[in-house]
Amino acid sequence: MNGILPLWKPKGLTSHDCVVQIRKIFKTKKVGHTGTLDPEVEGVLPICIGEATKIVPYLTETKKGYVAKVALGQSTDTEDRHGSIVDKKSVIDFPSEKRIENVLQSFRGTIKQVPPMYSAVKVNGKKLYEYARAGEEIKRPVREIIIYELNQLPLKAEEKEKNRFSIEIVCSKGTYIRTLCVDIGKCLGYPAHMSDLVRTTSASFTKKHTVTFSIIEEAAKHNRQDQLLLPMIKGLDHLDILYVGEETKRRVYHGQKISKSNHKLTTDPFVVMHDQQLLAIYQIHPQKPEQMKPVRVFHG
């Protein structure tokens, strides 16, 4: 079985927990997820199975979409609602939509972000959360991320009563939404944290594509779990496609370089296909720009 299982990850499981369960259901070790979600976060988590595990890095690099709740008035050591409170300030005057919009505007585009102490970013070979659990504060690397879209969702009365508002985000790999919520709160003049998070998109996968564990387990009872898999090309539709003939197909299968000739490609790497068959992922040769070399070849 080769393909992508578009899982709706439930709350309470780590991304690795999901992989372990899917290995059992699909009876294969070749399973990989495409971007970690914290245990208390639910949402779109494409899982690659079989030959599709070869495309995990290409899916991990794609844009992600989220809906998050910003809670004003309290900040925590983990930057979400599960941490210990480290700062408090009464919200006397909840910011207007216009004021929130003005602040959101400053976060759109390429920005710098310091990852939270409770994160898996490594510093000197050790994960930041390991330092945090040991009570050590350490200088964290500043990273550049891209916020492609950032919008305030219509404010609900019950959210305002709890000093919260919801935002919709489309961002690059490596973005910490918790930190974004904290930084937005600071700009509004309040300590803040992220009180809730849902991943709504990953690459071209949205909630409507997803399946739950109950659906997967029901399909497995009838040995139909393979019917839930989407083709590998679905996870690569952010890359250009180069269609080749039968002769070039044989060369691709043998991992040979092919001539760039007059092919107009806007992405590097790119996908190589024959008819509707996914053959490989190629890239422009770094030393010989007139040639293209394989980085992944698919069999089956």
> Which residues belong to the active site?
38
Q: CB atoms < 10 A from the CB of 136, how many? A: 11
Mapped onto helix, strand or coil, the DSSP state of residue 130 is helix
CB burial of 72-100 (b: ≥16 within 10 Å; e: otherwise) equals: bbbbbbbbbeebeeeeeeebeebbeeeeb
Helix (H) or strand (E) holding 16: helix 15-26
Residue type, 155: L
Write the DSSP symbol of residue 239: S
CB 257 within 8 A of CB 227: no
Q: Distance between CA 34 and CA 57 in Å, rounded?
A: 7
Picking from 172, 117, 178, the residue whose alpha carbon sits closest to that of residue 148 is 172
Picking from 292, 230, 260, 264, the residue whose alpha carbon sits closest to that of residue 59 is 230
Rg, C-alpha atoms of the chain? 22
Q: Distance between CA 118 and CA 131 in Å, rounded?
A: 9
CA 247: distance to chain centroid?
37
